[in-house]
């Protein structure tokens, strides 16, 4: 296992928060910026539900299209909560797992729903600009 410094861990935790804030506050460019150029963002169903890929977006163009669509749909009315973060060094970078819950707010009624709970599985690499996501996979609980 590769050793990570305290600074590495803090930077990775900050990167995770920046990704969530970028989606929640409708900032597609900030979302793309946390990924390497060939990075990927995907969601799957749980193993119990078959583990099917729900979506996959790759590369900065694909990631930007996803973030643009999320911004248009939500208009800044969504909140991600990420917790119980475990980060570990691996050869060539780092990996992390964390819990996620997403709260969506209906702009017309103000009604709040939780359309997603699950686990993030993240892969990171250190670049000249700092740590970046290589891949984020959300595995839904249901």
Please report which helix (H) or strand (E) contains residue 15, including its range.
helix 6-24
State the average pLDDT over residues 104-130: 96
**Per-residue pLDDT tens over the stretch 46-104:** 999 999 999 999 999 999 999 999 999 999 999 999 999 999 999 999 999 999 999 99
Measured over the CA atoms of residue 41, residue 42, residue 46 and residue 51, the dihedral's sign is negative
Residue 11 within any structural domain of the chain: yes
The alpha-helical segments, DSSP class H, found in 39-127 are: 59-74
Residue 77 within any structural domain of the chain: yes
pLDDT of residue 107: 87
pLDDT of residue 84: 98
Q: Above pLDDT 70, what percent of the chain?
A: 100
The strand ranges marked E within 2-75 are 35-44, 53-58
CATH number, domain of 50, equals 3.10.450.50
Residue 75 within any structural domain of the chain: yes
Structural domains in the chain (count) = 1
Residue 1 within any structural domain of the chain: no
DSSP 48: G
Helix, strand or coil, per DSSP, at residue 116:
strand
Which domain range does residue 108 map to? 6-140
């Amino acid at each position: 296992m590769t050793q990570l410094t305290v600074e590495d861990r803090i930077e990775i935790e900050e990167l995770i928060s920046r990704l969530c804030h970028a989606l929640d506050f409708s900032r597609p460019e900030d979302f793309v910026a946390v990924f390497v150029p060939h990075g990927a963002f995907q969601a799957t169903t749980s193993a119990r539900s078959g583990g099917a890929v729900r979506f996959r977006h790759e590369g900065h163009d694909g990631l930007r299209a996803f973030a643009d669509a999320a911004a248009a749909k939500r208009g800044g009315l969504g909140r991600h909560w990420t917790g119980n973060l475990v980060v570990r060094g691996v050869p060539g970078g780092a990996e992390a797992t964390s819990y996620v819950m997403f709260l969506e707010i209906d702009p017309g009624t103000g009604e709040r729903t939780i359309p997603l709970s699950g686990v993030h599985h993240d892969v990171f690499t250190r670049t000249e600009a700092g740590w970046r996501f290589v891949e984020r996979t959300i595995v839904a609980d249901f």
